[in-house]
């Protein structure tokens, strides 16, 4: 079972207002939604998050906090949320008072731990949202980042910070043949810095970042005393891994980019891709020279083979022209453009009838 991104959410004071005087909602007349909660939760659901309520309900089931009133409020709240296609996966409740010394009252984590045992959670990409310090402590104790609602940090701001963050990845790859550190930001500004020890290869990688709009920093120390093969291959593997990591579950991406034709003087390159998680390369192109700078031209095709293998991308490339330099450079520029188009966020769902990519 795949670990799911999960939003743990407090109820009173977070989803619905909590009366200042009583600190408890005692009737439907007192139930009002917090500002921005519906639009924010719609965004989280569209982004693939599971929603789980974690609530401390003092003396639940006693005359001071009758369960019937509590359930009536929940039913009304859930009905309104459902009208906006917002559904919750679970409601975790502690019915005890603070003086009872139970293990389930926030900030203690029994409720969360028990849920995670039966519902695998992607802790790295899950969050806790509440209105009290105990909610924040609960999330931290559970091992997830937490947000506390305030006048300055509302639902819109929290959703923006979580969902609009740049898609980034860092890959560190060390073998006996190469030592690579690579940083990628798909939502960058085209700022690049490549240092592989092969200047023409660096030039091509810089084209990838510049024309794709990606921030890309690559440092590779390879066994160039043997030859260039390991440096080019392992850089491509690290780059492919970075793209796959940065894309995450690929929700909302365009996925396809086709017939991207790019010319550079005599050279013409056509590339189409499908970010399908089914790696496959079709490469049609020949080079008259053995080297471009100090990069063997036979490694151009191998670079793309390694990249698609690590990234899970299906790619078709056709190269025409006379000048070897132009053909290879145009190929990397076209490669950048199709990637730029295919990774764009243009929707909210996974572009596949399977539901996953």
Looking at the DSSP assignment, which residues form a beta bridge with residue 194? 218
* Residue 118, pLDDT score: 94
**CATH 3.40.50.1000 domain extents, the chain:** 6-163
Strands annotated E in 103-177: 127-130, 145-148, 168-174
Give the predicted TM-score (pTM) of the model.
Answer: 0.76
Write out the two tokens for 91.
């409601």
The answer to whether the annotation marks 96 as part of a ligand binding site is yes
For the chain, 357 residues long, the average pLDDT of each consecutive 10-residue run is: 90 92 80 96 94 95 91 96 97 95 96 96 95 97 96 95 92 97 96 97 97 97 97 98 94 89 96 96 97 97 98 98 97 97 89 85
* Residue 165, pLDDT score: 85
The answer to whether the annotation marks 94 as part of a ligand binding site is yes
**CATH 3.30.230.40 domain extents, the chain:** 168-342
The answer to whether the annotation marks 102 as part of a ligand binding site is yes
CA–CA distance, 178 with 176 (Å, rounded to integer): 6
CB atoms within 10 A of CB 72: 14
Closest CA to 122 of 275, 276, 248, 255: 248
Pick the CATH number of 168-342 from 3.30.930.10, 3.30.230.40, 3.40.50.2020, 3.90.550.10: 3.30.230.40
SS3 71: helix
Q: Which fold has domain 6-163?
A: Rossmann fold (3.40.50)
Write out the two tokens for 59.
């003396």
Instruction: Determine which one of 10, 215, 274, 341 is catalytic.
Output: 10
For 80, phi then psi, to 5°, come to -70, -45
- 202 neighbors 195 (Cβ within 8 angstroms): yes
The answer to whether the annotation marks 12 as part of a ligand binding site is yes
* Residue 222, pLDDT score: 97
Closest CA to 194 of 217, 224, 171, 222: 217
Does residue 274 carry a catalytic annotation? no
Long-range contacts of 45-49 (CB under 8 A, 24+ apart): 45/85, 45/86, 45/87, 46/348, 46/349, 47/5, 47/163, 47/251, 47/252, 47/348, 48/4, 48/5, 48/249, 48/251, 48/350, 49/4, 49/5, 49/6, 49/7
Closest CA to 11 of 130, 145, 148, 154: 130
* Residue 1, pLDDT score: 64
| CA 183 distance to own-chain centroid | 15
Long-range contacts of 350-355 (CB under 8 A, 24+ apart): 350/48, 350/249, 350/250, 350/251, 350/252, 351/250, 351/253, 351/254, 351/255, 351/256, 352/255
Does residue 10 carry a catalytic annotation? yes
Instruction: Determine which one of 12, 215, 234, 274 is catalytic.
Output: 12
* Residue 240, pLDDT score: 98
| CA 298 distance to own-chain centroid | 34
The answer to whether the annotation marks 10 as part of a ligand binding site is yes
Contacts of 117 (CB under 8 A, 6+ apart): none
298-311 and 229-247 are packed helices; what angle lies between their axes, rounded to 10 degrees? 30
């Amino acid at each position: 079972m795949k670990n799911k991104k999960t939003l743990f959410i407090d109820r009173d004071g977070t989803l619905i207002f909590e009366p200042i005087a009583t600190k408890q909602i005692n009737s439907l007349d007192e139930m009002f939604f917090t500002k921005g909660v519906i639009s924010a939760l719609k965004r989280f659901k569209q982004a693939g998050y599971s929603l789980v309520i974690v609530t401390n309900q003092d003396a639940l089931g006693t005359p001071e906090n009758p369960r019937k009133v509590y359930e009536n409020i929940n039913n009304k709240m859930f009905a309104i949320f459902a009208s906006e296609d917002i559904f919750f996966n679970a409601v975790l409740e502690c019915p005890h008072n603070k003086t009872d010394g139970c293990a389930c009252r926030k900030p203690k984590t029994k409720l969360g731990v028990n849920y995670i045992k039966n519902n695998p959670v992607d802790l790295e990409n899950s969050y806790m949202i509440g209105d009290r310090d105990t909610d924040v402590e609960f999330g931290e104790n559970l091992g997830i980042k937490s947000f506390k609602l305030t006048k300055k940090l509302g639902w819109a701001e929290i959703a923006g910070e979580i969902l609009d963050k740049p898609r980034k990845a860092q890959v560190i790859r060390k073998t006996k043949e190469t030592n690579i550190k690579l940083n990628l930001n798909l939502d960058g500004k085209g700022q690049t810095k490549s240092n592989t020890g092969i200047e023409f290869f660096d030039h091509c990688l810089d084209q990838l970042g510049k024309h794709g709009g990606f921030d890309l920093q690559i440092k590779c120390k390879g066994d160039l005393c043997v030859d260039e093969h390991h440096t080019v291959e392992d850089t491509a593997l690290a780059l492919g891994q970075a793209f796959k990591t940065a894309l995450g579950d690929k929700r909302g991406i365009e996925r396809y980019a086709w017939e991207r034709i790019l010319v550079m003087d005599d050279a013409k390159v056509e590339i189409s891709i499908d970010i399908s998680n089914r790696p496959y390369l079709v490469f049609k192109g020949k080079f008259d020279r053995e080297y471009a700078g100090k990069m063997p031209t036979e490694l151009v095709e191998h670079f793309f083979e390694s990249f698609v293998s690590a990234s899970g991308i299906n790619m078709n490339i056709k190269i025409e022209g006379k000048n070897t330099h132009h053909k290879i450079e145009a190929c990397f520029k076209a490669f950048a453009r199709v990637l730029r188009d295919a990774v764009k966020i243009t929707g909210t769902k996974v572009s596949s009838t399977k539901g996953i990519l």
